[in-house]
């Protein structure tokens, strides 16, 4: 069963070595992510699953390794036991964020109880029904499961954004932030894959997995909602 979930974004610039002279620009985002991870720790899960979009559905029970070399920095991170599996960009950022948490770092290093860390990827083109089913699969059983959902909003908020400026992006992100703040599983489940593709919403399938995993009656907090680089970044906590 799901006892807690946190949503965090996956901008490579969150890593100080990549941000260089612009490190301070995302200090608030890093602080919000740290706060969300601390809340997951307080939920005392039996296991923590880091979830993000990837090339295909995958369950990384033995963890994996990710690299920021594609962004020009020779930095590797591990998830769980750090097996040979290669982490998607989303899970790579998730693993880096976990490495900042003393609670999580211990589990990442050991890959063992009391709170083993594993990874799960959902195909970037997965349809909503598949996402919902995937969510239910991940939290089935008696174990107390926490989810760290790594997902960006739209990438079309400004002319310098990866997807350029689209007037639909800001209202889309406002609605997405409202859904996260209200723990509105229905709103997340109804996200349109076609519109998400047009607005470069890379996190859409992972957010719909969360909707399938959450169940009713959740309390929620929206800790961060900004678009510093023309991309919608959210940090939210569901308990």
The continuous run of DSSP H or E covering 27 comes out as helix 27-42
| Confidence at residue 104, expressed as pLDDT on a 0 to 100 scale | 58
Give which of 23, 4, 3 is closest to 15, Cα–Cα: 23
Contact 128, 191 (CB under 8 A): yes
pLDDT-derived band of residue 115, with 50, 70 and 90 as boundaries? low
Token pair recorded at residue 148: 């760290």
Q: Which residue has the higher pLDDT, 112 or 77?
A: 77
What is residue 112's predicted lDDT score, i.e. its pLDDT?
46
pLDDT of 22 higher than 90: no
Q: Taking Cα atoms as reference points, which of 229, 232, 126 lies closest to residue 180?
A: 232
Give the pLDDT confidence of 161-181 residue by residue, as tens digits: 999 999 999 999 999 999 999
Identify which of 11, 181, 194 has the alpha carbon closest to the alpha carbon of residue 93: 11
Using an 8 Å Cβ cutoff, are 4 and 39 in contact?
yes
Q: What percent of the chain has pLDDT over 90?
A: 72
User: Considering just the CA atoms, what is the radius of gyration of the chain in Å?
Assistant: 16
What is residue 58's predicted lDDT score, i.e. its pLDDT? Answer: 93
Distance separating alpha carbons of residues 216 and 239, to the nearest angstrom? 11
- Structural domains of the chain, ranges and CATH numbers in brackets: 2-238 (3.40.830.10)
pLDDT in tens, 171-226: 999 999 999 999 999 999 999 999 999 999 999 999 999 999 998 889 999 999 99
**What is the average pLDDT across 128-136?**
97
What pLDDT, on a 0 to 100 scale, did the predictor assign at position 107?
Answer: 53
Q: Compute the average pLDDT of residues 40-51.
A: 90
Q: Which of 45-54, 109-118, 206-215 has the lowest mean pLDDT?
A: 109-118
| Most confident of the following: 106-110, 156-160, 214-218 | 156-160
If you count them, how many residues does the chain have? 239
CA atoms of 125 and 130, how far apart (whole Å) = 10
Q: What is the mean pLDDT of residues 2-23?
A: 88
DSSP state string for 29-92: HHHHHHHHHHHHHHT--SEEEEEEEESS-EEETT-EEEE-GGGT---EEEETT--SPBPPHHHH
Q: Is the pLDDT of residue 99 over 90?
A: no
Query: What does DSSP assign to residue 157?
Result: S
Higher pLDDT pick, 83 / 63: 63
pTM for this predicted structure: 0.93
């Amino acid at each position: 069963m799901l006892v807690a979930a946190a949503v965090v974004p996956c901008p490579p610039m969150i890593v100080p070595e990549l941000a260089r002279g612009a490190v301070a620009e995302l200090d608030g985002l890093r602080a919000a992510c740290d706060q969300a991870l601390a809340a997951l720790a307080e939920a005392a899960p039996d296991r923590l699953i880091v979830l993000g979009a990837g090339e295909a559905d995958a369950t990384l029970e033995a963890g994996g390794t990710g690299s920021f070399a594609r962004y020009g920095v020779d930095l590797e991170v591990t998830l769980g036991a750090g097996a040979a599996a290669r982490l998607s960009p989303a899970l790579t950022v998730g693993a880096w964020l976990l490495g900042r948490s003393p609670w999580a770092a211990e589990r990442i290093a050991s890959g063992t109880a009391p709170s083993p860390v594993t990874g799960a990827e959902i195909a970037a083109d997965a349809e909503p029904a598949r996402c919902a089913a995937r969510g239910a699969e991940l939290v089935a059983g008696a174990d107390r499961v926490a989810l760290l959902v790594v997902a960006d909003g739209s990438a079309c908020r400004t002319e310098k954004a990866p997807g350029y400026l689209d007037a639909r992006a800001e209202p889309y992100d406002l609605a997405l932030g409202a859904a996260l703040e209200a723990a509105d599983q229905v709103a997340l489940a109804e996200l349109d894959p076609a519109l998400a593709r047009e607005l470069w919403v890379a996190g859409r399938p992972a957010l719909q997995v969360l909707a399938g995993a959450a169940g009713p009656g959740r309390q929620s907090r929206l800790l961060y909602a900004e678009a510093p680089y023309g991309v919608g970044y959210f940090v939210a906590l569901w308990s």
